[in-house]
Amino acid sequence: MKKRRNYGLILLGGFILMVLLAAQAEGAQSRRAARFIKEDPDNLRPVRSLRTATPLPQQAQAPAGPPGLASDWVLTFSDEFSGTTLNHNQWATEYGLDTDCVVATPPPVGTPTYCNRSNNDEKEWYVDDAPRVENGVLKLEARLNDCTGDQLPDRYPPYSCDNFPYLSGLVSTHDRFSQLYGYFEARIKVLEGAGFWPAFWLIPQLPPTPSSDIEYFWPPEIDILESRGQEPHMVYMNQHYSGEHPVPGSKLNNWSYGGGISGYFSATSSLATDFHTYAVDWQPDRITWYIDGVERFHSTTNLPPGEISLPEYPGNMQIILNLAVGGSFVNHELPPDELLPAAVEVDYVRVYQKVSARVYLPAINR
């Protein structure tokens, strides 16, 4: 016996399928958010933009190194922190940007000169002994400022312990290593706790410059990693550019600021429980951010270095790793005393350059 087909039901089912497919397409289109948000030039910290990738469980043992064939890249800088002390041939313990900072009452002979100013209303004062190497990692430790010793802000008016109630660690490759383009990677264990602000970032190789009218160049800046201790599952990635791009910011234009191109990634769990790799592939036509080997953000707009016609500005960037405490980025929150001392840990820092781009030789000064 021949079965009769219910053509009404078939038509109804087809109509429902078309509606579902249309809704799915519309939903997918609505999820295609703009990758970049340009911030208000009056606000020096990036605003939060939309996530650029679906959150996935982070792999603590993710493959390290740049994308593509290993033969396409050459290692130009590395520190595995396998010794017992910080390698001062590779790292300084200051920004290097305070060229106009005058010490009113110099410390005793033999005591290093400090003039580290904190931006963004941060409450830490960077000291030499806060970065330390032990058990195969670099630790940048924050602690309460007890206002004793030779490395304190009270020794350098107008700074004071009241303004900087915390001591913390910073390392930079200032005057030691810088590079134009390449892949910059570090394996880092961030901190959990309100007020902690660890960062891994790049800024132009700082002074001395031949001209006192310039002092130093900023922006551009590439923030490979910024983290808020109160939300340890989040990673913020930023690119800052000059208000006169492609001309970089400097004293000549009052460090003109044009804005920030910003993205963030939300992991499914805290990133402070283990080490993760954070990297950026900076090329002439694109900057790509990676977390644990997975692309999470990219930018193709107002890229550094901009115009490099000035002899004082080769376009190279130096590396900075630091642990700030308080400040605008963490909503001016401060950690409870019981969380201190606390340290962000760095397993290694490695920098690569494409073999085909070796015309852009890294500047290694020591």
Question: What are the pLDDT digits (tens) for 257-266?
Answer: 999 999 999 9
pTM across the whole model: 0.79
Predicted confidence at residue 161, as pLDDT, reads 85
Domains of the chain: 33-364 (2.60.120.200)
**CA gap 308, 304 in Å, rounded:** 10
Mean pLDDT of 150-171: 81
- In terms of pLDDT, which residue wins out, 54 or 248? 248
Predicted confidence at residue 235, as pLDDT, reads 98
**CA gap 364, 177 in Å, rounded:** 5
- In terms of pLDDT, which residue wins out, 325 or 208? 325
**CA gap 362, 331 in Å, rounded:** 37
What is the residue whose two structure tokens read 């304190």?
A: 152
**CA gap 332, 300 in Å, rounded:** 32
Collapsed DSSP state (helix, strand, coil) of residue 83: coil
Range name among 28-37, 251-260, 319-328 with the lowest pLDDT average: 28-37
Which helix (H) or strand (E) element contains residue 259?
strand 257-266
- Is residue 90 pLDDT above 70, yes or no? yes
Predicted confidence at residue 113, as pLDDT, reads 54
Contact of 226 with 236, CB cutoff 8 Å: yes
Predicted confidence at residue 363, as pLDDT, reads 46
Predicted confidence at residue 239, as pLDDT, reads 97
Residue 160 confidence class, pLDDT cut points 50, 70, 90: confident
**CA gap 281, 306 in Å, rounded:** 17
Contact of 77 with 354, CB cutoff 8 Å: no
Query: Which residues fall within 8 angstroms of residue 15, CB to CB, at 6 or more apart?
Result: none
Count of all residues that appear for the chain in the document: 366
Contact of 329 with 230, CB cutoff 8 Å: no
| Token pair for 65 | 């190194």
Q: Where are the extended beta strands (E) located within 101-136?
A: 124-126, 131-134
The string of DSSP codes covering 19-47 is: HHHHHHHHHHHHT---S--BPPTT--SPP
